[in-house]
Structures are given as C-alpha cells and as structure tokens.
Amino acid sequence: MSSAELSVFIQALGVHTPERKLTNAELSSMVETSDEWIKTRSGISERRIAGPDENPSDMGAQAAAQALKRAGLTTADIDLLIVATMTPDVPFPSTACLLQAKLGLRRDIPCFDVSAACSGFVYALQVATDMMRSGSYRHALVIGAEKLSSVVDWSDRTTCVLFGDGAGAAVLTTTTDKHVGILGNLLGADGNNSELLHCVGGGSAAPATPESIKAGQHHLRMNGKEVFRHAVRVMTESCERVLAKCGMKSEQVAWFIPHQANIRILEAVASQLNVGLDRFPSNLDRYGNTSAASIPLALEEAWREGKIKHGDLVLIVAFGAGLTWGATLLRWHEPPR
C-alpha cells in the first residue's frame, strides 16, 4: 500500500486516575488559600494524587490496557509506543520503556518519551501520525501520563492548587479512508520564554545536592500571569492556523478539546474564537491541570458521555512549558464492530 493513501485515526481511548482526591478544603489547611479563591481563579475543586507506588508508567499502563480492550486489540498488535510526560518515573530509561515492560508489549517495537510539558500529548500524536503514515506501523499507543504531585512545591500556594495526577491513552490505527482521522496539525515552541514555567534542579546542569533540595530547586516554578497571557494567545492562534491549514472554519468544529489548565483560559480562547464555551468540554473541576494527561482525559470523557459522535470534527489544542503549543484537527471515526 502506498503511504500517500494512509490516514491515522484514534480507534479507542483509555484513562486512569488515582483514587485519592485532594479537595480545595484540604489544601486550605496546608497553605493560605480558600475553596472560593481556587474555584473562581481556576475552576478547580479537587485533583487526584498518586500514591508512592503509583508512577506515570503504572498509570499509563492502566490507561493503555483499557484503551486496548476497547479497541478489541491485544498487546501483540501494538507496534509503536510514545509516552508524553514531564514527570518521567526516572531520568532514564524512558517511561515508555518501563511501560512497555509493564504492559507486556512486543520486544521489537520502538518505545520513547516526548518532552513538551502540557503540549506533550499533541506533540506525541503528531510524531506517531507521521511515523504511521509511512505505512511502517499499523497500531500505535500514544499515552500522556503525569505525576505532578511529585514536582509541586506543596508550600507554594501560587502553584500547588493547580496541578493533579493521571494518565490517558489513545490507540491509533491506520486507514485508507482519507476523510477520517487526523486531518491536520501544527506544533510550535519558544524557548526564549522557558523561565516562565520551569524546574531548574535535578538535571545534568544542576544535579540534586542537599543544598539544591533545601533551596527547592527540584520544584516546578511558574509566572502564572505571563503563562496565562501566552496561553490565551497561542491557543487561539493555533486553532485558527490549523483550521486555515485544513480549509475549515470554527463553525464546523463540533468539539474543542483544550488542555485543561484554567477555566478562565478556556473562556478567553472560546470568546476570541467566537465559539460558545459549551463546545469546550472541561473536567478541570475534578482533575485540575494534569499536563500531558489532560487532553486524553478530557477527550475520553467527552466521548464516553456521548458528546463526540462518529463524523464530528474535533479540534485538540494545547500549550505548556517550553513554551510549547500545538493543535490537531480530526474527524472522529468509530470503526464498525
């Protein structure tokens, strides 16, 4: 089959979120904050927190197992695995390799991580799609898995109220039907603004020492106001650009699935695109910002609740540390069973 004939679609989704819920009320006893402040400024009511033995590879494996079952596939069918994460289990090997072993995937397939923070799932989706269009891979697993609770500074009220843990997985499959699946995408980055959201310690530039840990260098730090401003601009532009690239208009999009960072960001993007907020499904209230896991979690929920239907045009859009951003336009396809 000629590679020019192949399209790639999301055949099934799976999710996993930790049992433990951390409510705004509990957070109010840890730092100087309130349920009212967190809800009105971010839209978040609670978030999930992973246990000590519940790592991104574990959560990702659970989500992938559900996606495989829903797709009617087995581990033997998967010939490519990409994991998007900014909180890998360990610096190396990749979380993808750990997950491959936990899930029992074939030993002859490529497995690797993509690091693009909250845009990670959109980046991984595009990398997988481009690899699959060549015809070399029939089924891929793309997973967003995060344990942000491990990098958050639980004494910093400006960040600790925003993040949560979880994982989402998509089974991608090739088809010769050109009118379904991923129609177009774009990715971007601006490393000049990396200091707006970063973690300076623990890498090779500043390996962990007792002093660096005491100084909190292993924690996530963020300039929330500036990130907010960039997020609204790049998410709006990314939607407009990917639509223009595909010759479509926002009116044709049934569902926008945005990275879940702050309900006010979603409101601002919807307003700038002149689209009703009811077309931006959100689960922020229950999960907070789960970084690379947020889009598959939101997409799975919108599908499971019967919002997304066969034939719908869906626009996925994200931004994150880096700064990074990305958007994917797809025609939802449910293969006959």
Any contact of residue 238 with ligand ACO (CB under 6 A)? no
Any contact of residue 232 with ligand ACO (CB under 6 A)? no
Which segment (47-55, 219-227, 247-255, 326-334) binds ligand ACO by CB under 6 A?
Answer: 219-227
**Closer CB to ligand ACO, 259 or 331, in the complex:** 259
Catalytic annotation present for 289: yes
Residue 329 beta carbon to ligand ACO: minimum distance, rounded to whole angstroms: 21
CA pair distance 15, 290, nearest whole angstrom: 12
Any contact of residue 168 with ligand ACO (CB under 6 A)? no
Residue 4 beta carbon to ligand ACO: minimum distance, rounded to whole angstroms: 35
Residue type, 149: S
Any contact of residue 227 with ligand ACO (CB under 6 A)? yes
Spatial CA neighbour of 294 closest among 8, 17, 81, 9: 17
Q: CB count, 10 Å around CB of 123?
A: 28
Task: Give the active site residue among 118, 160, 199, 239.
Answer: 118
Any contact of residue 231 with ligand ACO (CB under 6 A)? yes
Any contact of residue 291 with ligand ACO (CB under 6 A)? yes
Task: Give the active site residue among 199, 219, 289, 333.
Answer: 289
List CB contacts of 142: < 8 A, sequence separation 6 or more: 82, 84, 121, 124, 125, 128, 169, 170, 172
**Closer CB to ligand ACO, 231 or 269, in the complex:** 231
Any contact of residue 188 with ligand ACO (CB under 6 A)? no
Binding test (CB under 6 A) with ligand ACO, winner from 8, 68, 97, 117: 117
Task: Give the active site residue among 16, 139, 259, 333.
Answer: 259
Binding test (CB under 6 A) with ligand ACO, winner from 21, 37, 254, 279: 37
Residue 107 beta carbon to ligand ACO: minimum distance, rounded to whole angstroms: 33
Any contact of residue 193 with ligand ACO (CB under 6 A)? no
- Is the Cβ–Cβ distance between 169 and 95 less than 8 Å? no
Residue 39 beta carbon to ligand ACO: minimum distance, rounded to whole angstroms: 11
Binding test (CB under 6 A) with ligand ACO, winner from 105, 172, 261, 269: 261
Catalytic annotation present for 259: yes
Question: Widest CA span of the chain, in angstroms?
Answer: 61
Query: For the chain, where are the alpha helices, taking DSSP H only?
Result: 24-28, 35-42, 56-71, 95-103, 120-133, 157-160, 210-214, 224-246, 263-273, 284-287, 294-304
CA pair distance 21, 286, nearest whole angstrom: 9
Spatial CA neighbour of 164 closest among 61, 303, 288, 325: 288
Q: What is the DSSP string of 13-41?
A: EEEE--S-EEEHHHHHTTSS--HHHHHHH
Which letter does DSSP use for residue 202 in this model?
S
* Burial zone of 225 (CB within 10 Å; 0-12 exposed, 13-18 middle, 19+ buried): exposed
Taking residues 73 to 112 in sequence order and writing x for each that binds ligand ACO by CB under 6 A, - otherwise, the string is: ----------------------------------------
Any contact of residue 60 with ligand ACO (CB under 6 A)? no
**Catalytic positions, please?**
118, 259, 289
